[in-house]
Structure 1
Amino acid sequence: MTAPSPRPRSARQSDVARIAGVSQSAVSRVISGDAARIPAETRRRIHDAIAELGYVPNPVARNLRGARTRLLGVHTFEPLFPNAREGFYVEFLLGIEQRAEETGHDLVLFSSTGDGAGGRRIYRDETNRLRIADGSVLLGVSPDRAELARLWHEGYPFIHIGRRDVPGAPIPCVIPDYSGAAAGIVERLHGLGHRRLAYLRDSIDVEPYEDRRAGYADAVTRLGVVDRSPGFVSGTAGVPDEVVSALADGTCTAAVAESERVAAELRARLTDRGVRIPEDVSVAVLEDTSAADVGWDDLRIPRQEIGRIAVERLIDMVSDPAAPRESTYVACEAMPGETVAGVREDRR
């Protein structure tokens, strides 16, 4: 019986260096993109040798040696496929992809680090699996803030899209300015004559909603607007009966809802009472409702821009590990729609 032929050995950097007639360090610098001081003719010989041998760099091995791979990770704490949260994350991903391509980086999507209970984790078997990439963009709501603290203390370069407060670890974030947008919506209502508002909370209690509430509260106080609704005073979630009644009888002339879901419930209940939006009362929503059937007055998050900024900040961290890792705020826009109008004369 004839013994099987041995498998051919994969080409190595040393082989490329031998054929090109250069040092292995020169080959490594060309492959890593750090070839500014290497003559053009030398770079050409190296590329010719790479093509002749079919050499493919091993990014994992390069990472273990401390070299940059020019791979950027995207880790998601929530499922992206087929269309998580009605495609909320898609625009972020488009911005991330665009800027990565423009800067000569490839992307690695980390989406299989499940914990067996529906959550997604960064560490498995005490190993940070993101280290295959030079740094990573994190998306979604982490089920374990201690993981984020550990990642920060290890010094691994990462940036989180959305504000996250992690005790003992001021992690860098790219933060949509929900507070400023919420204040802008209150200012618009005030400019149309509304002085008695109601605030409708969703049941979600994470930092982006805290920012909405803070912006709304600051604007209400600053402008002297009256709001005694349960959502504003006691933090009650949903659409309380007293708010529906106050809007129906003119005690309040406008409502600000944290989410399209809550706004839709309010609309249905007002319709049952014969109250029209915006003819009788105005309603604005503190999230992007562009996919909704109703043309709500709302706020818009520049998601592609945020994705691009996240990549730029991440590359800065990778390029200079000693640079400050600070958060960046990005303005959101208060968008006029079809659900806000001036106050009816008999309700002023």
Structure 2
Amino acid sequence: MAKRRERAPRQADVARLAGVSQSAVSKVIAGGAEATRIPENTRRKVMAAVRELGYVPNMSARSLRNKRNKLLGVHTFEPVFPHARESFFFEFLLGIEERAEELGYDLVLFTSTGASDGRRRVYRDGVNRLNIADGSVLLGAVTDKGDLARLASEGYPFVHIGRREVPGAEFPCVVPDYFSVTGEIVAMLAEQGHHHLAYLRATFGLEPYEDRRRGYVEAVARLGLEDRSPGARGESGLTTEWIEELIRGPETAVVAESLPLADLLAAELRIRGLRIPRDLSVVVLEDLTPEVTTPWVALQIPRVHIGRTAIDALVEVLEDPDGAGQSIVVPCSVVSGTTVAPVPR
């Protein structure tokens, strides 16, 4: 088994150990006139922490601070053209473009790194094609985690939209808070008298869906609700057997991870003469695109804001390559609709 590689200490680690600000650490390490303005006691603390951690300044990153070409990259792991406006990613791209322009950066969109299996990758023939940009924002559902690990190990500056966990690699993400908004949805159902819920689980195994599931389980337990559905036990999909059991059972509300599952449930209920929300309330844990005509109660991701935040986070990484590069969690909201009704008294 390969030994996990420990990351090199950063200025943030030095500052934490010394009990001083990261700005003070940067000035002490840089030396010169800036260092002389730092109190002697602080300088001693910083240098002691440097020796204890074995910190080595990233000289190549520091030299790049003043040699950037003001060009930021955007890499999508799925195609976004020619139907970008209808794409889930369109509003992310709007926010990215708006904020980059405000900060005086140009953008380059990487769209031609597709492999023979249809997946888009950063590397081609072993070469990181993003290197023409100072740093890049990466986004997409089917992220290549091997690429993320390699980018992180090489020190290439990037920010990922959406939470991604890669063993042995640390990098900043801008994360929609699916955990909290799912809890809000469950609480909203409870307030309307729904105490017996069912969960429709999609087949996706990605981190954003893991966050939804954790939020659901936590809220159901915290509020003392009941869920006996296959989805709550980790089973995906919607079977005829479960639909029949759902109709006969005590459940009054369903939380569906995806729009296709909600649509399938609605169609099966109509066949049996049942209606949403008269007979069953339904919520969708997806951010629905404008062409969806059914007014589902659903969650909403502030995609333009997230795109803007990703650019700010990337520029912060470029300005301080030795910084911690912390991930940012962005709140989501609940979209009102007509698919939830109070339980009759």
How does the TM-score come out when normalised to structure 1?
Answer: 0.78
Matched, 1:111 2:111: yes
Shift of 1:262: 0.5
Residue 219 of structure 2 corresponds to which residue in structure 1? Answer: 219
Q: What letter is aligned with 1:282?
A: S
Which position in structure 1 is the counterpart of 2:278?
279
Q: How does 1:53-132 map to 2 (within 5 A)?
A: 67-83=67-83, 86-132=86-132
How many angstroms does 1:83 deviate by?
Answer: 2.1
1:162-181 to 2 correspondences below 5 Å: 162-181=162-181
SS in structure 2 opposite 1:78? coil
| 1:243 Cα deviation after fit | 3.5
Among all aligned residue pairs of Structure 1 and Structure 2, give the percentage whose two residues are the same amino acid: 56
* Structure showing greater Rg: 1
Whether contact under 8 Å (1:281, 1:343) holds in the other structure is no
1:127-155 deviation per Cα after TM superposition (whole angstroms, max 9, x unaligned): 11111000000010345312111101111
- Is contact 2:200–2:254 with CA below 8 Å preserved after alignment? yes
Amino acid in structure 1 at the alignment position of 2:219: A
Other-structure match for 1:137: 137
SS in 1 for 2:255: strand
In 1, the alpha carbon distance for the partners of 2:179 and 2:85 equals 22
Q: How does 1:1-348 map to 2 (within 5 A)?
A: 67-83=67-83, 86-233=86-233, 235-291=234-290, 292-345=292-345
**By how many angstroms is 1:290 displaced?**
4.4
Residue 242 of structure 1 deviates from its aligned partner by: 4.1
Counterpart CA distance in 2 for 1:204 and 1:304 is 24
What TM-score results when the alignment is normalised by the length of structure 2? 0.78
- Do the aligned residues in 2 keep the contact of 1:130 with 1:136 (CA within 8 Å)? yes
Label 1:85 to 1:170 Cα distance change in 2 as closer, same or farther (>3 A): farther
Q: How far apart, CA to CA, are the structure 2 residues paired with 1:268 and 1:210? A: 27
Alignment CA distance shift 1:96-1:212 (3 Å): same
Structure 1 counterpart SS, 2:116: coil
Q: How many residue pairs get matched?
A: 282
Contact 2:88 2:289 in 1 (8 A): no
Q: Which runs of 5+ in 1 are unaligned?
A: 1-62
* Higher RCO (CA 8 Å, separation ≥ 6 residues): 2
Deviation track 1:222-265 (CA, whole Å, cap 9, x = no partner) reads: 001100100111x2211123442244235211100001110000
TM-superposed deviation, 1:105 = 0.3
RMSD: 1.8
1:143 and 1:334 map into 2 onto residues whose CA distance is 26
**Which residue number in structure 2 is paired with residue 6 of structure 1?**
none
Conserved? CA contact 1:248–1:275, under 8 Å = no
Per-residue deviation, residues 255-292 of structure 1 (Å, max 9, x unmatched): 00001110000000011111111111100000112431
CA distance in structure 2 between the aligned counterparts of 1:79 and 1:257, rounded to whole angstroms = 26
1:135 and 1:157 in contact (8 A); partners too: yes
Aligned equivalents of 2:166 and 2:103: distance in 1?
30
Moved over 6 A (4+): 63-66
Distance 1:117 1:290, change over 3 A: closer
Q: 1:141 to 1:131 in 2, by over 3 A?
A: same
